[in-house]
Amino acid sequence: MRTAVLCALLPLFAACQQKAAEAPSQDVESEPAAVAAAAAAAVAAVDSERLVAADSEPGNWMSYGRTYSEQRYSSLKQVNDSSVEDLGLAWYFDLDTERGIEATSIVVDGVMYLTSAWSKVYALDAASGALLWSYDPGVKKDVTRHACCDAVNRGVAVWEGQVFVGVLDGRLVALDAATGAVNWEVVTVDQSKPYTITGAPRVIKGKVLIGNGGAEYGVRGYLSAYDADSGAMVWRFYTVPGNPELGFENAAMEMAAKTGTASGGNSVEEGGTVWDAMAYDPELDLLYFGVGNGTPWNREIRSPGGGDNLFLSSIVAVRPDTGEYVWHYQTTPGETWDYTATQHIILADIELEGKTRKVLMQAPKNGFFYLIDRTDGTLLSANNYIDITWATHVDMATGRPVEVEGARYTEGPFTVYPSYLGGHNWHPMSYSPDTGLVYIPVLDFPAAYGQPEAFIYRPGVANTGSDGIIGSLPDAQAERDAMRPLMKGRLLAWDPVTQREAWRVEHDGPWNGGTLTTAGNLVFQGTADGKFVAYRADNGERLWDFPTQTGVVAPPMTYAIDGEQYISVNVGWGGAYALVFGEFVTPASLPNVSRVLTFKLGADGKLPQPDWQPRVVFNPPAQTGSEESIREGYALYQDICMGCHGLNAVSGLLIPDLRGSAYLHDPAGWNAVVRDGALKANGMAAFGQWLDESQAAAIRDYIIQQARRGQSLQQPPAE
């Protein structure tokens, strides 16, 4: 019997699971039966009519946020607050990558399309989990040097028989939905610059929309539209003005240029990448998207004369046919804390003071929940959804936050709630028209910022413009332990009308998954400590959970086939917090087990037992470096290495913990890895451009210090 057929019958059969790891890219010839079956019906036959009316097809999940309104609400209710206790694992599919999994799966007419780390695409039979085809764009792993937040990808878009994926290295690829063969491929960025793509494309009226990331690395942000059939670029909307001497692309850029002053090398000419949120209102024919932070974060360096620096940290509305600017709302004028407004945007029609209003909702990083009239961008209300310390409130007369004195850290270090990872990051929230509540995966922890003594602009590495040592964790373990209870995360049900909390569920820590809500009075969310959980949507009561064996960051989704409702979530720990906050990553998040888990009522599938021991084996050499060298290494480490190897050299273990590295004993080998890129093919880029030999050695001295500290804590010397 062919494996594909067998897998369709017995999805949990071991051979079906191995297939993912073994399958070469575009493994189509070997699976004619499955492909023929998929091709028999028109595949991914999604068009404007279907997308605009997506609410009438609850069995499908045809675009990133399910509908153009991006509510992530499903009217399916076979699985509901009373039946959910019978929910069990229907099938699982192992993804052949070991980095963070952030994708929302798309399901159209029984076929599931998703991405894993490294922008790989998979098409699965959505009822059985059998692989139909897979596609590997062959990303060179050292491009992660330009990716702040892991080798992640948030998913595909489908349209008229094609599947579109934005690739980490800046390509946009159109695949044949039936076979996975490449139809066309375009490079959407200047690849000599540190651009990356992690966001999911959207398709509006035959145009594929894609943004990019990399603001603090030194790129100018924009959103582009490509013709779905030919791959030709139709329009591009820049978010910051660029070099004024080259002229402005449009009046919006001319307006933006008046809101900032450039200083050499790093300036208002860069930043503002569009790396995640988009939503569309077909009636108003407006496309909304969120804009990111500045290059560097610190405005004092970027725009020393002050200014709002449009369109950083803004929500912008444009015409989807032309990219013509219509309105904007800036959440954080003169942003200086990495407070992006790229977070999930939800559109809804809700009753406010007796009138139905067309609103847009966002809970961006800065900690405020915004309710905006989406016809013209008027602010309707704003309130903070976590306790914040950088501003007191939003002034309704001006629509601007009222900042706390000193919060801009120009006069001295300042600890701010929320941190640069925000009160809410990319993890999608959801909105239920039944309960009227928005379910936000909240982050709640602080970060310290400080003006650096001297700022060196290094295009191609992360430029925060905030002092790396001030932003690091305390050296003393007791002080770090005292920080642990501050590292909070929760599921927050927020009433957008009253701008008040309805209920909350505290999690073990930050960086939990995105949310899904359904007409079954349910909210689903995966957690950092390895659970997939269902709550009552109206009061937050915990009704059901399933152990996922890995931290979950991706949002769940739901669909139906032949009258059966499925709930599916992609699991696999990773992303920015996983890399940076190694000190506080709960052991239950690890290892990264990258999988699709799909559930239905009455199923009772089991996962194989993982065997993995998270630990660092300390074996550091004697310290030979001077105090000055260790200090220099500390500062360089925080500026250049921390984003991947973790704050204070404590890794989240997706990437090696340098305190256990054998290269600590091998200065020449260390130099070859760190400066020359000896491990480039595995994702450890060459940093010789920014580090001479003595600087690389200084980092080694610092790591030896941290390793010796770690060792002494792990094995206290017997008295």
Our finding on whether 640 is near ligand HEC (CB under 6 A) is yes
- For residues 77 and 558, what is the distance between their CA atoms, to the nearest angstrom? 10
Query: How far apart are alpha carbons 707 and 705 in whole angstroms?
Result: 5
Closest contact distance (angstroms) between CB of 437 and ligand HEC is 38
Taken in order 138, 140, 146, 149, the sign of the CA dihedral is positive
Query: Residue 523 and residue 81: Cα distance in Å, rounded?
Result: 10
The only residue of 593, 644, 653, 704 in contact with ligand HEC, by rule CB under 6 A: 644
- Judged by CB under 6 A, which of 662, 693, 712, 714 binds ligand HEC? 662
Give whichever of 377 and 582 is closer to ligand HEC, judged by the CB atom.
Answer: 582
Q: Which of 61, 370, 618, 670 is close enough to bind ligand HEC by CB under 6 A?
A: 670
- Which of the ranges 27-35, 123-131, 324-332, 673-681 carries the binding residues for ligand HEC, by CB under 6 A? 673-681
Q: Which of 101, 262, 641, 650 binds ligand HEC (CB under 6 A)?
A: 641
Shortest distance in whole angstroms from residue 63 CB to ligand HEC: 31
Among residues 539, 682, 712, 714, which is the contact residue for ligand HEC, using CB under 6 A?
682
Nearer to ligand HEC, 253 or 686 (CB): 686
Considering the rule CB under 6 A, would residue 675 count as an interface residue with ligand HEC? Answer: no
Give the Cα separation of 244 and 269 in Å (integer). 8
Binding flag, residue 643, ligand HEC (CB under 6 A): yes
Cβ contact 296:456 at 8 Å:
no
20 touching ligand HEC, by CB under 6 A: no
Residue 698 engages ligand HEC in binding (rule: CB under 6 A): no
Binding status of residue 656 toward ligand HEC by CB under 6 A: yes
Min dist CB 677 to ligand HEC, Å, is 10
Q: How far apart are CA 25 and CA 137, in angstroms?
A: 8
Q: Which is nearer to ligand HEC, 564 or 666 (CB)?
A: 666
Nearest to 278 by CA among 266, 270, 268, 286: 286
Q: Which of 28, 51, 268, 655 binds ligand HEC (CB under 6 A)?
A: 655
Q: Is 697 in the site for ligand HEC (CB under 6 A)?
A: no
Give the binding-site size for ligand HEC (rule: CB under 6 A). Answer: 22
Stretch that binds ligand HEC, among 2-10, 127-135, 182-190, 638-646 (CB under 6 A): 638-646
- 224 contacts 240 by C-beta, under 8 angstroms: no
- Interface pattern 241-280 for ligand HEC (x via CB under 6 A): ----------------------------------------
Distance CA(149)–CA(197), nearest Å, equals: 11
Among 233, 350, 497, 679, binds ligand HEC (CB under 6 A): 679
CB of 637 to ligand HEC, least distance (A): 6
For 611, residues 6+ apart whose C-beta sits below 8 A from its C-beta are none
Report d(CA 160, CA 326) in Å as an integer. Answer: 29
d(CA 191, CA 208): 20
Asked if 215 and 295 count as a contact pair (C-beta separation under 8 A), the reply is yes
Of 30-38, 114-122, 353-361, 659-667, the window that binds ligand HEC (rule: CB under 6 A) is: 659-667
**By the 8 A CB rule, do 657 and 582 touch?**
yes
Spell 365-385 as b/e; 16+ CB within 10 A means b.
bbbbbbbbbbbebebbbbbbb
483 vs 679, which CB is nearer to ligand HEC?
679
Q: Which is nearer to ligand HEC, 63 or 464 (CB)?
A: 464
Write out the binding residues for ligand HEC, residues 131-150 only, by CB under 6 A: 144-145
User: Which residue of 684, 686, 697, 704 would you call a contact of ligand HEC, by CB under 6 A?
Assistant: 684
Lookup: tokens for 429: 């929230």
Q: Does 574 bind ligand HEC (CB under 6 A)?
A: no
CA 522 to the chain's CA centroid: 24
533/513 Cα distance (integer angstroms): 10
d(CA 322, CA 696): 49
Residues ≥6 apart with Cβ < 8 Å to 245: none
Q: Which of 13, 68, 7, 57 is closest to 605 using CA atoms?
A: 13
Q: Which is nearer to ligand HEC, 100 or 260 (CB)?
A: 100
Among 38, 262, 607, 699, binds ligand HEC (CB under 6 A): 699
Query: Which residue among 575, 683, 697, 711 contacts ligand HEC (CB under 6 A)?
Result: 683
d(CA 719, CA 686): 44
Burial of residue 668 (number of CB atoms within 10 Å: 0-12, 13-18, 19+): exposed
Binding flag, residue 558, ligand HEC (CB under 6 A): no
**CA 352 to chain CA centroid, nearest Å:** 32
Footprint on this chain of ligand HEC (rule: CB under 6 A): 144-145, 640-641, 643-645, 655-656, 658, 661-663, 670, 673-674, 679, 682-684, 687, 699
